[in-house]
Amino acid sequence: MHALRWSITLTILVALAYAVFVAIRFHHVDTRVYAWASQLLQGGAPPSVAPGGRRLDSYQLDAPPLKVQGVDRNLSGLTFDAETRTLLSVVNRPARLVRLSLEGKVIAQHRLLHAADVEGVTYVGQGRVALLEEGRNRVVLAALPSAPDAEIDLADTFALTLSMDPPSGTASGVLASNAGFEGIGYDHAKDALYVVKEHSPRALYRIGGLASYTPGQALRVSIENLSEWVGNASVVGTDLSSVEVDPASGHLLLLSDESQTLVELDATGKLLGRTHLSGRPGEGVAVPQAEGIAMTPEGDIFIVSEPNLFYHFRPAKT
């Protein structure tokens, strides 16, 4: 009898340990509890929301989540190409750039040669994109080919390395897994790239003058550290997986995978609004691993989630 009780107890403990592992590994319960506790310690409510934002909490899912056919895993990063009215995303392994319709259908795929863990992409105009390589901590400017299956060689393209101190215990210049630069967005009106670092710590940088650089000209780049804008986990989330610039206002949209939130900041870093991605009223859908966000001038929001999920949110009708 004693052996039977011990066997039952051991089985229960193993089941509980596995449940905790699943909750942390796939649902990020630990980070969500942390964000909730931080918010509670600060008064039980998020900071006041200022007028002038997109009212993100009023957005509605346009259709059920779509699995992107032709992409099995690692779908990451997203941007809107206003010249063709299509979307661009990246896959880091095997490295390639994927062009999507606004309905989430694959239009073209371009293999990325000499790429190192590409996690983000943003369209900068005139048929060019800026790609974010987490593996090398650099922003790469590349021209988009016209052929739907043509390759893009990153070995011969212009790149800016974003040097930073490595975390303790890692080799010099090498970031710990999933702790590096994760998302990139572009403000066309100000010629400014925004780059976010995922965590440990969260960081936000604004790079001016890079996207408009033409080979042969003098390079004049300014880099601003705006990390104080994203220092509060109860506001922006416990990690940053992507950043987008609202083309109509220049406001920033920050995506957090772990906290399952989308946040809007104005041009000074002030919070304008936020919404939860999972458990939205009346929708009952989840965004398991939100990795990329794009917005059209009309205000439609598109999100991609690993392994290959595509979401389209529309603003509330007024």
The residues pairing with 91 across neighbouring beta strands, listed in sequence order, are: 75, 96
Can you tell me whether residue 285 is helix, strand or coil? coil
What pLDDT, on the 0 to 100 scale, is given for residue 279? 63
Please write the tens of the pLDDT for every residue from 197-220: 998 899 999 999 998 888 778 888
Beta bridge partners of 66: 310
Place of tokens 């940053």: 240
In this prediction, residue 16 carries a pLDDT of: 67
Quote the CA–CA distance of 239 and 199 in Å, as a whole number. Answer: 5
**Spatial CB neighbours of 186, under 8 Å, sequence gap ≥ 6:** 79, 122, 123, 124, 130, 192, 193, 194, 211, 245
> Which pair of tokens denotes residue 42?
């600060």
pLDDT digits (tens, 9 = 90+) for 257-307: 999 999 999 999 999 999 988 766 556 677 889 999 999 999 999 999 999
317: confidence class by pLDDT, cuts 50, 70, 90: confident
Amino acid, res. 137: N
- Burial level of 314, CB count in 10 A (0-12/13-18/19+)? middle
Q: How far apart are CA 311 and CA 279, in angstroms?
A: 14
Tokens of 178: 């999933």
pTM of the model: 0.83
CB 132 within 8 A of CB 79: no
In the predicted model, is pLDDT for residue 41 greater than 80? no
For residue range 120-171, list pLDDT tens digits in order.
999 999 999 999 998 889 999 999 998 988 999 999 888 998 875 444 333 3
Q: What percent of the chain has pLDDT over 90?
A: 58
* Among 259, 263, 264, CA closest to 287: 259
Tell me the three state secondary structure of residue 139.
strand
> Is the Cα torsion angle 37, 43, 45, 46 positive or negative in sign?
negative
Strand order in the sheet with 261-265: 242-245, 252-256, 261-265, 271-276
What local confidence, expressed as pLDDT, does residue 13 receive? Answer: 66
92 strand-pairing partners: 95
Tokens of 189: 């009106």
Contact 90, 316 (CB under 8 A): no
How close are the terminal C-alpha atoms of the chain, in Å?
Answer: 68
- What is the predicted pLDDT for the residue at 281? 54
For residue range 157-179, what is the model confidence (pLDDT) as tens digits?
889 988 754 443 333 333 334 45
CB atoms within 10 A of CB 147: 8
Handedness of CA 19, 22, 23, 24 (dihedral sign): positive
If you write DSSP's letter for every residue of 21-67 in order, what string do you get? HHHHHHH-HHHHHHHHHHHHHTTSSPPPPPSSS--GGG-EESSS-EE
pLDDT of residue 219: 82
Is 12's pLDDT higher than 90?
A: no
Torsion-angle region of residue 181: left (phi > 0), alpha (psi -120 to 50) or beta? Answer: beta
Per-residue pLDDT of 76-117, as tens digits, reads 999 999 999 999 999 988 999 999 999 999 999 999 999 988
pLDDT of 116 reads: 87
Q: Which residues contact 14 (CB under 8 A, 6 or more apart)?
A: none
